[in-house]
Amino acid sequence: MPLELYLDLHSQPCRSVFLFAKLNNIPFEYKTVDLSAGEQYGEEFGKVSMIRKVPVLKDGDFILTESIAILQYLVGKHRTPDHWYPADLQKRARVDEFLSWQHTNIRAHGSKVFWFRGVLPAVTGSPVPKEKMDAAVEELNTSLKIFEDKFLQTRGPFVVGDKISLADLVAIVEIMQPVGTGLDVFQGRPALSAWRDRVKKEIGVEVFDEAHKIIMNVDALPQTFENKGIPEFLKLKIQKMFN
């Protein structure tokens, strides 16, 4: 039975899993979950994961959520090249350090900016209040500065030295999220841009672009909602965001 990956490439963690599987020639069955239609709240998907998030991995009877855990599992199972998740204690710790930090920093702030710029206006029909938007962008900027100052540093071309690892993969998909809404976070950040170019080259421009096609076309969302309607979960989520 082939590996199943439940994905929606609007989602950053789906992109890192998708890219990792592709780059390492890990065969999988792509199971689309349409987040904009609320498919994650459907009965079908509920049988796969009660957490109702993507990505999800299904390996026979073994179901696993959380992209970080999925990536670590795929590394272990498919014995991918060492640089992705080095066996060396200190190098691995550096990858783990970033993978831990990113949840409530780049991930949280990049997601928020994405919602504020790309999703909320599409649902409510009006832009997010300036003060809220500015605060969200400021938090993202703070995270990006920390990323450059601490994680990129002068240690090497990638987060953990000479070669790309899970840290770079997770970082790039998260940083691309606000970019999809037209906020070019690379502008004015030469170190970040240079790193992005190196990562893109390692991944391969074609497969990188393939993974990011949906997010780079996120201005199609308003039309999607007009055609399919706005799912209830989205209205509730947005209400909560404004508290």
Partner 1 sequence: RSVYIFAKKNNIPFDYKKISLFEGYQYSEEFGKINLLRKAPAIKDGDFCLAESVAIMMYLAEKFHTADHWYPADLQKRARVNEYLSWQHSAIRIHGSKMFWFKLLIPKALGTEVPKEKMDNAVEDLNASLNLFEEKFLQDRPFIVGDQISLADLVAIVEIMQPVGAGMDVFENRPKLKAW
Site for partner 1 (CB under 8 A): which residue of 134, 138, 149, 184? 149
Q: What angle do CA 227, 230, 235 make, to 5 degrees?
A: 165
Least distance (Å) from partner 1 to the CB of residue 222? 27
| Burial tier of 90 (Cβ tally within 10 Å: 0-12, 13-18, 19+) | exposed
Q: Output 119 or 122, the one with its CB closest to partner 1.
A: 119
Using CB atoms within 10 Å of the CB of residue 1, give its burial: 0 to 12 exposed, 13 to 18 middle, 19+ buried.
Answer: exposed
| Cβ-contact 51, 41 below 8 angstroms | no
Quick one: which of 69, 194, 205, 236 contacts partner 1 (CB under 8 A)?
69
Which of 65, 80 has the CB closer to partner 1? Answer: 65
Are the C-beta atoms of 39 and 45 separated by less than 8 Å?
Answer: yes
Number of residues that bind partner 1 (CB under 8 A): 33
User: Using the rule CB under 8 A, is 1 a contact of partner 1?
Assistant: no
Task: Please state whether 92 falls in left (phi above 0), alpha (psi between -120 and 50) or beta.
Answer: alpha
Q: Which residues contact 215 (CB under 8 A, 6 or more apart)?
A: 9, 10, 15, 176, 177, 179, 180
Which residue, 120, 125, 124, 122, is CA-closest to 136?
Answer: 120
Least separation in angstroms between residue 215's CB and partner 1 is 20
Our finding on whether 141 is near partner 1 (CB under 8 A) is no
Shortest distance, position 67 Cβ to partner 1, whole Å: 8
In the complex, what is the shortest distance from the CB of residue 51 to partner 1, in angstroms, rounded to a whole number?
Answer: 6
Contacts of partner 1 in 167-226 (CB under 8 A) = none
Binds partner 1 by CB under 8 A, chosen from 3, 26, 37, 64: 64
Q: Which of 32, 41, 51, 194 binds partner 1 (CB under 8 A)?
A: 51
**Candidates 18-26, 28-36, 146-154, 217-225; binding stretch for partner 1 (CB under 8 A):** 146-154
Element (H, E) at 65: strand 62-65
Q: By C-beta, is 68 or 133 nearer to partner 1?
A: 68
8 Å CB contact between 122 and 228: no
Q: For tokens 């409510």, what's the residue?
A: 124
Instruction: List interacting residues with partner 1 (CB under 8 A).
Output: 50-51, 62, 64-70, 72-73, 76-77, 89-90, 92-94, 96-97, 99-101, 103-104, 107-108, 146, 149-150, 240, 243
